[in-house]
Amino acid sequence: MFLGIDLGTSSVKALVLDEAGSVLAQGSAPLDVMQPRPLWSEQDPEQWWLATGRAVHEASSQLAGGLRGLVAIGLSGQMHGATVLDAADRPLRPAILWNDGRSQAQCTALERAVPTSRSITGNLAMPGFTAPKILWLRDHEPAHHAAIAQVLLPKDYLRLRLTGDHASDLSDASGTLWLDVRRRAWSSEMLAACGLTRDQVPALFEGPEPTGRLRAEVAQAWGCERVPVVAGAGDPTTLNDASSLANALSMMQQFEESEAVATRHLEAGALVLPQNHPSMIGLAGTLGFTYLEQKNTDAAEPLLLGAHDGFAATFGKDSPYTLRYAQALVHLYELRGDAESAARYRRVPSSP
């Protein structure tokens, strides 16, 4: 069996699956968000770890044998957050989250410092991303910035506590503004613009790759072996995986099951996330892709338009997420023979 751990903004979720993908057990533990000033949004990384233990315990307690048959652990979670650690891997301050808006001035400064930043990273500089948060620390908390030994994304702080490794996956790294998306490697230029080097960011892995094994003390506490922990993904990428499953089922002429998979994800997400959360936008888009595969353009159009506009408002019109849905809308309107509407969405990223 397999254990999935998702570090959300409002809770940590644990899910135990068998090899067929059936749910065997699940657990969750709530999290609080601190907003000490307008536009600020922070969490205590220690609370992530404590909530993880509670969620895993709740799930394992539902199994007669606990986690004794566990084979591997996968991680997913909120993207873009800045978890800054000292040389002993202790958090220097609360983590600055994806929905923190304090660093607009640093976004402008970053794009001026690196005029090619959009072509390197595939993204506009926005306060939600990790890099401007580090620049904000440089400008407003210089002692903390000077003490940074490692910057980790939220789910990767859990990985550190699980395995002792500084590691991340490429999907989560793409949301930092430090990843050279063409080379699939950290950009020294973007890091330097934030006063960092490659020694201060984690090693990168593909999502399914193991990054380490469970620490002995954690394995003992959880009642399992020292199983591998795989790189995992940021939350939008896990939603794309759900989209891939739905599309694969659709291609196998199993549209009803495909639609049900996407709809169940959308309904489940609505229980814990606001409609404008990127995860909810992606879930609606997933269902839109499912309808588009069947050439049901009437059902697909409002879902794809909503995903396109939602990602444009959140990440910018040139973000990879937005462009993905622009391409889908071009295909939809071409199926209808609506050249004018297709042309409206047929575009390439602009230069800064």
* Residue 247 neighbours by CB distance under 10 Å: 18
Which of 235, 298, 318, 338 does the annotation list as catalytic? 235
SS3 229: strand
Is 330 exposed, middle or buried (CB count within 10 Å of its CB: 0-12, 13-18, 19+)?
middle
Q: What is the pLDDT of residue 321?
A: 77
Give the Cα-Cα-Cα angle 293, 295, 301 (nearest 5 degrees): 95
Q: Which residues on neighbouring strands pair with residue 17, listed in sequence order? A: 2, 23
Token pair, residue 346, equals: 């047929």
Task: Please tell me the pTM assigned to this model.
Answer: 0.72
Q: Are 158 and 225 in contact (CB under 8 A)?
A: no
Q: Are 16 and 28 in contact (CB under 8 A)?
A: no
Is 340 exposed, middle or buried (CB count within 10 Å of its CB: 0-12, 13-18, 19+)?
exposed
The three state secondary structure string of 138-161 is HHHCHHHHHCCCEEECHHHHHHHH
SS3 88: coil
Q: What is d(CA 176, CA 267) in angstroms, rounded to the nearest whole number?
A: 29
Q: How many CA atoms lie within 13 A of 315 on its CB side?
A: 32
SS3 330: helix
**The CATH number of the domain covering residues in 235-345:** 1.25.40.10
Single-letter residue type at 349: P
Cα–chain center distance at 6: 10
Q: Are 352 and 108 in contact (CB under 8 A)?
A: no
List every span in the chain annotated with CATH 3.30.420.40. Answer: 2-231
Q: What is the pLDDT of residue 255?
A: 41
Say whether 139 is catalytic. no
Q: What is the pLDDT of residue 287?
A: 78
Q: What is the pLDDT of residue 347?
A: 66
Is 54 exposed, middle or buried (CB count within 10 Å of its CB: 0-12, 13-18, 19+)?
middle
Q: What is the pLDDT of residue 173?
A: 95
List every span in the chain annotated with CATH 1.25.40.10. Answer: 235-345
Q: How many CA atoms lie within 13 A of 235 on its CB side?
A: 26
Cite the DSSP H helix spans in the chain.
45-60, 104-113, 117-121, 130-140, 142-146, 154-163, 170-173, 188-193, 216-222, 235-251, 255-270, 278-293, 297-315, 320-336, 339-345
* Residue 222 neighbours by CB distance under 10 Å: 21
Is 192 exposed, middle or buried (CB count within 10 Å of its CB: 0-12, 13-18, 19+)?
middle
Q: What is d(CA 130, CA 193) in angstroms, rounded to the nearest whole number?
A: 13
Cite the DSSP H helix spans in 81-232.
104-113, 117-121, 130-140, 142-146, 154-163, 170-173, 188-193, 216-222
Q: What is the pLDDT of residue 120?
A: 93
Q: Which CATH class is domain 2-231?
A: alpha beta
pLDDT along the chain (352 residues), means of 10: 93 91 92 93 98 98 96 93 98 95 94 95 90 98 98 98 96 94 94 98 93 97 96 70 43 43 50 57 76 86 91 80 87 93 75 42
